[in-house]
Amino acid sequence: MAKKPITRKPSKTPTDLSPDQPLSGQSPRQASPLPDDVEISPSYAQVQGQGGETHQTATNGAPVLTTQQGVPVADDQNSLKQGARGPTLLEDFHFREKIFHFDHERIPERVVHARGYGAHGFFELTESLADISRADIFQRVGERTPVFVRFSTVAGSKGSFDLARDVRGFATKFYTKEGNWDLVGNNIPVFFIQDAIKFPDLVHAAKPEPDRMFPQAQTAHDNFWDFISLTPESMHMVMWIMSDRAIPRSFRTMEGFGVHSFRLVNTEGQSTFVKFHWKPKQGLQSVLWNEAVKINGADPDFHRRDLWDAINGGDFPEWELGVQLFDQAFADKFDFDVLDATKIIPEEILPVRSIGRLVLDRVVDNFFAETEQVAFCTQNVVPGIDFTNDPLLAGRNFSYLDTQLKRLGSPNFTHIPINAPKIPVANFQQDGHMAMTNPKGRVNYEPNSWGVTLGGPREDPVRGFRSYADEADDAKLRIRPESFADHYSQARQFYISQLPIEQKHVADALVFELSKVERPDIRSRMVSHLRNIDENLAATVAEGLGLPQLPAPAQAAVATRTDLPPSDALSIVKNGPASFRGRKLGIFLSDGADAALFAALVKAIDKIEAIYEVIAPNIGGVTLSDGTKVAAKQKVDGGPSVLFDAVALVISEEGAALLATDAATQDFVRDAFGHCKFIALTAAAQPIFIKSGIADDLDEACIPLTSAKDAAAFVDQLGVLRHWPRELKVDLDAK
C-alpha cells in the first residue's frame, strides 16, 4: 500500500542578515569591517543566458540561487538524506554538482554513445500539465522551448558506421526558463540491466574484446553473449535489439523513450508517476540486416546524411511527446514493478497521452562545438520533474557528471555555449579549468551576511527545486527486490506482438549473432533462455545454429506468464508511415530514357513531398528521349539500391543492352528485389532482370511503366514501403 508522504517545514533562508545577526541554530558572528575607501562590486556571477534574459528573482528581491544548469535551489544548507539521520542519497544533484565543482577547482571519446549526430529545434506544448507538474515547460499551451537533440549508437566508436545493429540514443536538452532539463533516452523503452552496478560489465562485454580489439560496433562475439546468457534480466532487451528496432531506417523514423519511471510534482507537492515517449510523425521504419550491411559499405554516414538533408531541405523531422501518467494505486496493482527498467507498461493498459511536439529545424554550425561537446546528464531536471527509486536511474544520475568531466576536461563544461542554459546562472562556484566567468567582488560563499545588494544569490524555498518527500525506512541491503524477478514474461509478450515477418527477423538476427560465437556452450545456454520465451523461436534458432538437440529450459526465478496479450504498439510494421512522404525514390536512367515517364515520376514524387535521386551509368548524367540533359546524383557503382526506399528503372533499349551485363546494375536490381522494395520498370529494362536471374519472379510490387498514369499509380503504392511476402520466396531460412 502507498505510504503517506512526510511533510516537512522548509528551512529558514538567510536573506538580509546583518553582520551581527546569527543564522538559526548558530552562534552570533561578527563580520570584519571594511575600510571606508574600499569599493565593493557585486559578489555573484552575472552570467547572462543566451537569450539575454534577466536573473530569476527570489521572493525577497535577490537573484535566485541556481545550479549550473540554471535550476532554482530551494535549500543550500542540507544535503538530501533518507530520513533526518539517514544516508545521503545519490539523487541529490545539487549537492553532487556543488561538491563536484569544488573538487575540480584546481587543474591538470565518450565510452558509450560515441558516434552521434545532433540538431537544434523546439518543443511546443500542446496540452498543459499544470495540474500535475509545477514545471514551467508544462504550463502554457503553444509556448515553444529551444531544444538540442543528439542521436547516437551505443557500442561503436566515433568512426564506426551508422547502421550497426545497436540501441540508438535519443537525448534531448530542453533549455527551459527554469534551467536545463535533459531527457536522456533511447529508441528502446527497456534496458539490459536492472541495477547500475552492472553497467561497466555490460559495456565491457559489448565492446570489442580487449585482447584483439574487434569486432567494432557489433555484439556478435563471445564476450557479449556470454554475459547476456548469464544475465536473465536482459532477455526482454534481447528481443528488442534482435528485432528491426536496432536497425532503423533513419533517426527520423524511430521512437524515443525515457526508459525509467519519473515523477511529476505539482505546486501542492503531489506526485504523479510518468513515463516519457517520443512518437515520430514520419512513422516507424527499419531496414533489413542484409540491407544494413550494404548501406554501411556504400554510405557509413547514412543516418547523418539523412538528417542533414531532411532539415536543410525543409522537411523538418517531428515527434510527439507522449506521457504515460499513473498514480501509486496503479503502480501497486500493475503486474510488474514500475521501478524495473527492464519492463514496460503496455500502451493498451495505459495509453500514451500526447502533450507536445518536437521539431528539429536547424543543423549545427560546427559539429565539434555542438554535437561533440554537448553534455547530457540524467540528473538535470527542473522543479516539477523528479526521480523515482529506480536503481538504474540512481546510478545514471551518479555517473553522468563524472563522465562529462572526463570528456570535457573541466567542471566548467556548462560554460560551453551548447551546454549553457539560456537563462542567467547565479552561484558561488569559481575557478577550475577554462572558467569563462567567475563571481565578482569579495563574497564567494553562502550563507553570508552582506545583504541583498552585496551578498549575492539566495536560495528560494518557494521557487527552488525540492525533492518529492518519498518515505523510505527499510534496512540498507545489497539485494534485488522480488518484484524484479520475472525476466521472461514481457520478453515473450514483445515477441508475440510482432508480425510473422518481424518474428522471422528476430530469429534470423539471433542465428547470425550466435553463429559468430565460438563457444558452443554459450550458444546452447542462450537457446535455453529462448525456450522460456517461445518454444518455436528457440527451435528455429537451434536449427539455424545446427545444435544437435534443444537444451533444457533455463531455470527461471519466476515462470513465464502466457496470459499477457500482444501489443500492437510494439510492432514496427503496424506503426509504419501513412505515406511515402519524406522517403527517397531512386530513379535509374539511361541515355534515351522516356522523358515523359521521368517527368511523371518526378511530378508524382513532388506531389507527395517525397524526394528522388537520379542514378545513371555515368555521373555526368544522361540525355533523355526528347534531348533533355539530366544530371546524375549517383553513379550506379556508388549509388546502390540500398540507399533508396523504392526504385524505378526508366531504361531505353539501348541503355538495357549496355547495362544488362554490368555487375553493379545487376546488384542494383537484385538487392531492390531481395529487400522487398517496390520496383517500377520500363519494358526495355527487362533484359537487366533476365540477366540478374529474377525476371520470372517479378510480383505485384514490380510495376510496369508504360505511361504517366502508371508512374502516378506506382508512387501511390509506395507508402506501404515493403512487399514482405517476397522475402519468404528469396530467403533460404524462410518457413
CATH code where residue 313 lies = 2.40.180.10
* Domain shared by 183 and 304, yes or no: yes
* Edge-to-edge order in the sheet of strand 679-682: 634-635, 611-616, 584-589, 646-650, 679-682, 702-705
- DSSP H or E segment with residue 711: helix 708-716
Please state the pTM of the whole predicted model: 0.88
Residue 225 has pLDDT above 50, yes or no: yes
> Last residue of some domain: 358, 383, 409?
409
Which of the four pLDDT bands, split at 50, 70 and 90, describes residue 256?
A: very high
Nearest residue to 318 (alpha-carbon basis) of 121, 567, 125, 516: 121
Domain span at residue 551 reads 486-573
Residues 6 or more apart whose CB falls under 8 angstroms from that of 168 comprise 151, 152, 153, 154, 186, 187, 188, 246, 248, 251, 254
Could you tell me what percent of the chain has a pLDDT over 70?
Answer: 90
Nine-digit cell at 335?
Answer: 503486474
Nine-digit cell at 438?
Answer: 567567475
Determine the Cα–Cα distance for residues 408 and 230; give it in Å rounded to an integer. Answer: 35
607: how many CB neighbours lie within 10 A of its CB? 11
Angle at 635 between CA 631 and CA 640, to 5 degrees: 125
- DSSP H or E segment with residue 274: strand 271-280
> Last residue of some domain: 370, 391, 409?
409
User: Which of 55, 94, 186, 221 is an active site residue?
Assistant: 186
* Domain shared by 503 and 434, yes or no: no
Whether the Cβ atoms of residue 371 and residue 150 lie closer than 8 Å to each other? yes
Residue 545 lies in a domain: yes
64: how many CB neighbours lie within 10 A of its CB? 24
Where is pLDDT greater, at 40 or 465?
465
* Domain shared by 99 and 166, yes or no: no
For 534, half-sphere exposure in the C-beta direction (CA atoms, 13 angstrom radius) is 19
* Domain shared by 367 and 435, yes or no: no
* Domain shared by 335 and 207, yes or no: yes
Determine the Cα–Cα distance for residues 515 and 526; give it in Å rounded to an integer. Answer: 12
CATH code of the domain containing 84: 4.10.91.20
Determine the Cα–Cα distance for residues 229 and 513; give it in Å rounded to an integer. Answer: 13
Residue 669 has pLDDT above 60, yes or no: yes
Secondary structure of residue 650 in the 3-state scheme:
strand
Give whole-number Cα distances, 147 to 176, 205, 363, 385, 418, in Å: 9, 33, 12, 17, 10
* Domain shared by 604 and 533, yes or no: no
Nine-digit cell at 299?
Answer: 554510405
Residues 6 or more apart whose CB falls under 8 angstroms from that of 651 comprise 588, 589, 590, 593, 659, 681, 682, 684, 685, 688
* Domain shared by 162 and 293, yes or no: yes
Determine the Cα–Cα distance for residues 267 and 129; give it in Å rounded to an integer. Answer: 12
Pick the range with the lowest mean pLDDT from 90-104, 297-311, 685-699.
90-104
Q: How many structural domains compose the chain?
A: 4
Pick the range with the lowest mean pLDDT from 13-27, 574-588, 633-647, 663-677.
13-27
* Domain shared by 535 and 669, yes or no: no
Nearest residue to 709 (alpha-carbon basis) of 559, 575, 599: 599
pLDDT score at 338 = 97
Whether the Cβ atoms of residue 273 and residue 327 lie closer than 8 Å to each other? yes
Nine-digit cell at 520?
Answer: 558452443
Q: Is there a cis peptide before residue 461, judged by omega within 30 degrees of 0? A: no
Residue 30 lies in a domain: no
Residue keyed to cell 557509413: 300
Pick the range with the lowest mean pLDDT from 446-460, 497-511, 524-538.
446-460
pLDDT score at 463 = 92
Determine the Cα–Cα distance for residues 565 and 501; give it in Å rounded to an integer. Answer: 19
Amino acid code (one letter) for 622: V
User: Which of 101, 113, 221, 529 is an active site residue?
Assistant: 113
Nearest residue to 63 (alpha-carbon basis) of 648, 632, 464, 393: 464
Q: Is there a cis peptide before residue 232, judged by omega within 30 degrees of 0? A: no
Determine the Cα–Cα distance for residues 47 and 19; give it in Å rounded to an integer. Answer: 27
Left if phi > 0, otherwise alpha if psi is -120 to 50, otherwise beta: which for 283? left
CATH code of the domain containing 583: 3.40.50.880
* Domain shared by 246 and 364, yes or no: yes
Whether the Cβ atoms of residue 564 and residue 491 lie closer than 8 Å to each other? no
Give whole-number Cα distances, 438 to 43, 105, 411, 442, 455, in Å: 10, 12, 13, 12, 15
pLDDT score at 104 = 58
Nine-digit cell at 180?
Answer: 536545463
Is 419 among the residues known to form the active site?
no
Enter the DSSP assignment of 425. B
Q: Taking the CA atoms of the chain, what radius of gyration do you get in angstroms?
A: 29
* Domain shared by 174 and 230, yes or no: yes
pLDDT score at 93 = 85
Could you tell me what percent of the chain has a pLDDT over 90?
Answer: 76
Which of the four pLDDT bands, split at 50, 70 and 90, describes residue 452?
A: confident
Where is pLDDT greater, at 130 or 50?
130
Secondary structure of residue 66 in the 3-state scheme:
strand
Residue 671 lies in a domain: yes
Nine-digit cell at 643?
Answer: 540507399
Give whole-number Cα distances, 602 to 335, 364, 496, in Å: 52, 30, 41
Pick the range with the lowest mean pLDDT from 94-98, 155-159, 277-281, 696-700.
94-98
Determine the Cα–Cα distance for residues 302 and 248; give it in Å rounded to an integer. Answer: 11
* Domain shared by 493 and 622, yes or no: no
CATH code of the domain containing 497: 1.20.1370.20
Give whole-number Cα distances, 600 to 16, 366, 417, 592, 715, in Å: 76, 39, 47, 16, 10
Residue keyed to cell 530513379: 587
683: how many CB neighbours lie within 10 A of its CB? 11
Residue 40 lies in a domain: no
Determine the Cα–Cα distance for residues 382 and 464; give it in Å rounded to an integer. Answer: 9
Backbone angles phi, psi at 538, to 5 degrees: -60, -45
Residue 34 lies in a domain: no
Burial class (CB in 10 A: 0-12, 13-18, 19+), 561: middle
Give whole-number Cα distances, 452 to 18, 438, 439, 600, in Å: 10, 19, 15, 72
Determine the Cα–Cα distance for residues 288 and 298; give it in Å rounded to an integer. Answer: 15
> Last residue of some domain: 421, 442, 468?
468
Can you give the length of the chain in residues? 735
Residue 188 has pLDDT above 70, yes or no: yes
Which of the four pLDDT bands, split at 50, 70 and 90, describes residue 103?
A: low
Amino acid code (one letter) for 7: T
Residues 6 or more apart whose CB falls under 8 angstroms from that of 311 comprise 119, 317, 360, 361, 362, 363
Backbone angles phi, psi at 714, to 5 degrees: -60, -50
Is 186 among the residues known to form the active site?
yes
Residue 425 lies in a domain: yes
Residue keyed to cell 510490387: 701
Residue 292 has pLDDT above 70, yes or no: yes
Q: What is the largest CA-CA distance in the chain?
A: 99
* Domain shared by 639 and 669, yes or no: yes
Nearest residue to 355 (alpha-carbon basis) of 133, 145, 124, 127: 127
Angle at 640 between CA 635 and CA 643, to 5 degrees: 110
Residue 265 lies in a domain: yes
Nine-digit cell at 733?
Answer: 531460412
Mean pLDDT computed over every residue of the chain: 90
Residues 6 or more apart whose CB falls under 8 angstroms from that of 550 comprise 527, 531, 538, 539, 542
Residue 42 lies in a domain: no
Residue 4 has pLDDT above 70, yes or no: no
Q: Which of 420-434, 451-465, 684-698 has the highest mean pLDDT?
A: 684-698
